[in-house]
A and B are shown apart, each in its own frame.
Chain A
Amino acid sequence: MVENRPFATFLTHLVLVLGVIAIALPVWITFVAATHDPLRMGQAPLPMWPGDHFLTNMKQTLFGSGLSGTEGAPVWLMLLNSLAMALMISTGKIIISLLSAFAIVYFKFPFRMTFFWMIFITLMLPVEVRILPTFEVVADLGMLNSYWGLSVPLIASATATFMFRQVFLTVPDEMLESARIDGAGPLRFFFDILLPLSRTNIAALFVILFIYGWNQYLWPLLITTDTSMTTIVMSIKQMLEAAEQSPQWNIIMATALLAMIPPVFVVIAMQKLFVQGLTETDK
């Protein structure tokens, strides 16, 4: 379209650049805080440009005892815990949702719809509304302070099941018929045809679920009391509390930075899959 409005074009980019800056500002300030020594971070006004202590701070954060005055696990262990939890939640959700969607779409069996509705109901029961009793169940099963306790109770997923159901429904019926004429049984069809056909959907969902798993806060807070099971996201809370006595903002912000780098990296590196996953699961 021919449109000669230089001012409008200028305004457009101005607004967008301001938007980008405003959105990035908190993270910039965090990054700057992670590059200065504790002394500089104790004086107002705080710096707006990076200093030269980034590597020292990172080293101390990752491998040192972390924040002095607290008895937390080392940050590298927290990162590992977070990674384990995020991977277990995302792969767990994907596996059990693939299986149940396959059963619901490709088999006709008694109680099929009952199962479907049972899965649907989980949509309406976020962990926040059943905190105490779920905690009790996990405690009774002896799953406190374990990776299983961190992940298994979260891996039932209505959205993932619905998404795979939708994907399977768009696979042409002839694909199944052709496979049956070729002599493929249900499991063979699932692994040889259905899984490869859902590859990008699985990848897209994985991106979303990895972020979901990594960012869990309330659940790990409830079921981990052992410091060696702490995840990086929940550790921020303890650090903020400690900050009220001894403000070591360079370390706290370095930890925050480490906590957000993995999921942010995933979003930016796999933007296409991320966008696909987000729009597919929320419809």
Chain B
Amino acid sequence: MLKRVHFPSSLLPYLLVAPQIIITLVFFLWPASQAMYQSFLIEDAFGLGTEFVWFENFEQLLTDSHYLASFQRTAVFSLLVAALSMGTALILAGFAQRVVRGAMFYRTLLIWPYAVAPVLAGALWVFMFNPTLGIFPYFLEMVGITWNHYLSGNQAMALVIMAAAWKQVAYNFLFYLAAMQSIPNSVIEAAAIDGAGPARRFWTIIFPLISPTTFFLLVINMVYAFFETFGIIHAVTQGGPGTSTTILVYKVFNDGFVGLDLGGSAAQSVVLMVLVIAMTVVQFRFVERKVEY
């Protein structure tokens, strides 16, 4: 934590941390405490006065069927994004680590979507699935499926999941490949001598050994799906049709900035804060006891 030998204490360390601390106070801690404070307030119908109501906003959230539905939707959305992008990445990494020389070549071709902003990923996918012009609806039509994510809630959900997962495959692939490459060769060779073929080696040796990475990625992907996919939803579906793609983050934004329900939006913020804290704790817990090969 601290060096054995350090510089004598003076004013200097305070000056060094000052920029970070000031920004943290002004733009992080103060707004967060404001959000918490506002979550205890209700504004009257004309926006003239506010009333301190303790947990009424939270009680309302818990009985609001729209909110609970959004909660459930977010869970499904996140799990599907995580499963789709991690599954794809796992398969690709599993094959990539077999080609010793070409692994880095494939890596280059697979990791660049990390740099694409979520909202752009959304734009790309919404273009491919444009109901009148898009490539995919054209092919789907041939097999008798009518695609219109402006009308079908499920299709809209599928679209944002694909867009969100597409961007994240790069990240998961990178970590999976690194984890697989850090398994000592001798372990794989021992399994080969024991008579295990490539597929068997993958499922009985490699996959169990990289389980810490799987867990780590699961948390990271959940956080990604919870927060960073805002751009996709906002640009592609605006939470619709109806509320079929309104995930929590979008709802906070929408209720606060569009609906101007400050108390309710603040209460939702606080719930999200609790979720982030929980996920961060889980993530750090995991880092503490990382498996050694």
Whether the Cβ atoms of A44 and B133 lie closer than 8 Å is yes
Task: State in angstroms the CA–CA spacing of A4 and B110 once bound together.
Answer: 27
Q: Which listed residue (A3, A26, A134) contacts B31, Cβ 8 A? A: A134
Shortest Cβ distance from B276 into A: residue: A124
How long is the Cα–Cα vector from A19 to B89 in the complex, in angstroms?
9
> A249 vs B129: C-alpha distance in the bound complex, in angstroms?
13
What bracket does the count of chain B residues touching chain A fall in? 35 or more
How far is the CB of B256 from the nearest CB of chain A, in Å? 5
User: Would you give the 0/1 interface string for A187-209, flagging 1 where the beta carbon is closer than 8 Å to chain B?
Assistant: 10000000000000000000000
Q: A156-B28, A260-B116 are in contact. Are A129 and B276 (CB under 8 A)?
A: yes
Query: CB within 8 A of B35: which of A130, A186, A247?
Result: A130
Given contacts A125-B273, A236-B235, contact A132 B35 (CB under 8 A): yes
Q: Is the interface of B mostly helix, strand, loop or mixed?
A: helix
Which of B5, B123, B174, B230 contacts A177, CB < 8 Å?
B5
Which of the residues A100, A132, A266 comes within 8 Å of B257, measured between beta carbons? A132
Contact B95–A237 (Cβ < 8 Å): no
Q: Any chain B CB within 8 A of the CB of A23? A: yes
A214 within 8 A of B: yes
User: Once the chains are docked, how many angstroms separate the CA of A5 from the CA of B200?
Assistant: 14
* B53 adjacent to chain A (CB < 8 Å): no
Instruction: Report the bound CA distance from A134 to B38 in whole Å.
Output: 13
Residues of chain B lying within 8 A (CB to CB) of residue A3: 192, 198
The CA-CA distance from A107 to B92 in the complex, in Å, is 46
Q: Measured between C-beta atoms, what is the minimum distance from B166 to chain A in Å?
A: 7
Complex interface: chain B residues within 8 A of A234 (CB) = 119
| Minimum C-beta distance from B213 to chain A (A) | 11
* Binary CB contact string for chain A from 129 to 162 against chain B (1 if under 8 A, 0 otherwise): 1111110111001000000000011011100010
Q: A15-B92, A16-B106 are in contact. Are A131 and B252 (CB under 8 A)?
A: yes
Number of interface residues of A (CB under 8 A): 107
Are the C-beta atoms of A137 and B26 separated by less than 8 Å?
yes
Known: A23-B110, A211-B114, A217-B119. A126 touches B276 (CB 8 A): yes
- The closest CB in chain A to the CB of B133 belongs to A44
Task: Please tell me if the beta carbons of A279 and B178 are within 8 angstroms of each other in the complex.
Answer: yes
Nearest neighbor of B170 in chain A, beta-carbon distance: A23
Q: Is the CB of B235 within 8 A of A240?
A: yes
- Are A132 and B7 touching (Cβ within 8 A)? no
In the complex the two chains form, what is the Cα distance from A157 to B3 in whole Å?
Answer: 22
Whether the Cβ atoms of A46 and B134 lie closer than 8 Å is: yes
Q: Select one of A46, A136, A283 contacting B34, CB under 8 A.
A: A136
Q: Which among A58-66, A67-75, A112-120 touches the partner chain? A: A112-120
A51 within 8 Å of B by Cβ?
A: no
- Which one, B119, B132, B262, contacts A233 given CB within 8 A? B119
Q: Which of B9-17, B40-48, B66-74 interfaces with chain A?
A: B9-17
| 1/0 contact string of A262-283 vs chain B (CB within 8 Å) | 0110111001001100110011
A45-B138, A218-B253 known; A16-B96 Cβ under 8 A? yes
Name 8 interchain pairs, CB-CB below 8 A, sorted by A. A23-B113, A33-B127, A44-B138, A112-B2, A129-B269, A129-B273, A214-B117, A263-B115
